[in-house]
């Protein structure tokens, strides 16, 4: 870094100031249509079930006496919804509650649920737990084989489904990796995550799967889109009888997003996803 000249903040590439919304503003939410045409699937005939589990760590409002309440929240957006919700717009929307007087936690929950459901185009489940109730974020690790220590060469950093292949053996197993990285298509910033694959079918070549996961490293896509692409590629290339794919992305801007997609017979519990906020 060149430190010989003072920083020119006006012309720097650093983030620009965003005006702070001083009152509740549902119009800040920005919905993006789930365009799945690149995957060759229709929203009317999805090959998976699932949801996008959001955890929000920076939610606050004022009670009727003007005293702040601080809480954790969880939002469950169905994969079948018409739209996904852009994460920065959700952050700004949640910030609009900071100076809003609300009569109860339940009113806040119902308000957020109604706004998110309108944006997504389908009912979004919302849970809110004030910090006074001592909620805990659980980070469960998958019960399976971690691919990250495989000694392999990797040279492909764009999604490459041809890296996926199978063996003759038939298995039921869970494979996972902490090496998933993609880039936000809005800001270009990196998104880091853990990806897990649980399936029954021909044994997936582990080296090929790890190379495939890493191949997203220079890809631009929303969290939800990346997981759906991975699900479809594994389903089409490896032919499992049942399949579940989920990602637990690192928190950014006070939010984390955990998309989950599965064949109907491959669905697993939320506990296995490691995406629960508990009291």
Q: Give the residue from 75, 68, 104, 69 showing the smallest Cα distance to 90.
A: 75
**141-153 CB burial, b ≥16 within 10 A, e <16:** ebeeebbeeeeee
Q: Which of 127, 146, 165, 184 is catalytic?
A: 184
Alpha helices in 101-145 (DSSP H): 105-120
Supply the DSSP string of 34-103, one letter for each residue.
Answer: ---GGGT--TTS-S-EEEEEEEEEEEEEE-TTS-EEEEEEEEEEETTSSEEE-HHHHHHHHHTTTT-B-S
Tokens linked to 126: 């919302």
Can you tell me the distance from the alpha carbon of 271 to that of 266, in angstroms, rounded to the nearest whole number? Answer: 15
191 in active site: yes
Can you tell me the distance from the alpha carbon of 116 to that of 106, in angstroms, rounded to the nearest whole number? Answer: 15
What values do phi and psi take at 118, rounded to 5? Answer: -65, -45
CA distances from 239 to 18, 64, 164, 165, 208 (A): 47, 57, 11, 10, 15
Q: Which of 191, 226, 232, 233 is catalytic?
A: 191
184 in active site: yes
Catalytic residue list: 184, 191
């Amino acid at each position: 870094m060149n430190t010989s000249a003072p920083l020119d903040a006006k012309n720097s590439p650093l983030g620009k100031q965003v005006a702070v919304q001083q009152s509740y503003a549902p119009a800040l939410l920005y919905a993006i249509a789930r365009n799945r045409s690149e995957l060759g699937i229709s929203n009317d005939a999805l090959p998976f079930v699932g949801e996008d589990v959001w955890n929000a760590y920076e939610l606050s409002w004022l009670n009727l006496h003007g005293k702040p309440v601080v809480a954790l929240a969880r939002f469950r957006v169905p994969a079948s919804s018409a739209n996904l919700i852009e994460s920065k717009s959700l952050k700004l929307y949640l910030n609009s509650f900071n100076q809003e007087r609300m009569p109860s936690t339940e009113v806040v929950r119902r308000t957020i649920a109604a706004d998110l459901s309108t944006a997504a185009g389908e009912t979004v489940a919302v849970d809110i737990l004030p910090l006074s109730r001592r909620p805990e974020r659980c980070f469960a690790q998958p019960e399976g084989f971690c691919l990250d220590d495989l000694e392999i060469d990797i040279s492909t950093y764009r999604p490459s489904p041809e890296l996926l292949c199978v063996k003759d053996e038939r298995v039921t197993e869970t494979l996972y990796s902490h090496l998933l990285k993609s880039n936000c298509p809005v800001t270009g910033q990196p998104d880091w995550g853990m990806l897990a694959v649980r399936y029954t079918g021909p044994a997936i070549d582990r080296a090929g799967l790890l190379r495939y996961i890493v191949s997203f490293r220079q890809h631009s896509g929303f969290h939800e889109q990346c997981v759906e692409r991975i699900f479809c590629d594994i389903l089409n290339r490896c032919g499992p009888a049942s399949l579940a794919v989920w990602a637990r992305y690192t928190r950014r801007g006070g939010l984390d997003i955990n998309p989950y997609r599965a064949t109907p017979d491959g669905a697993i519990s939320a506990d296995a996803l490691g995406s629960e906020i508990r009291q």
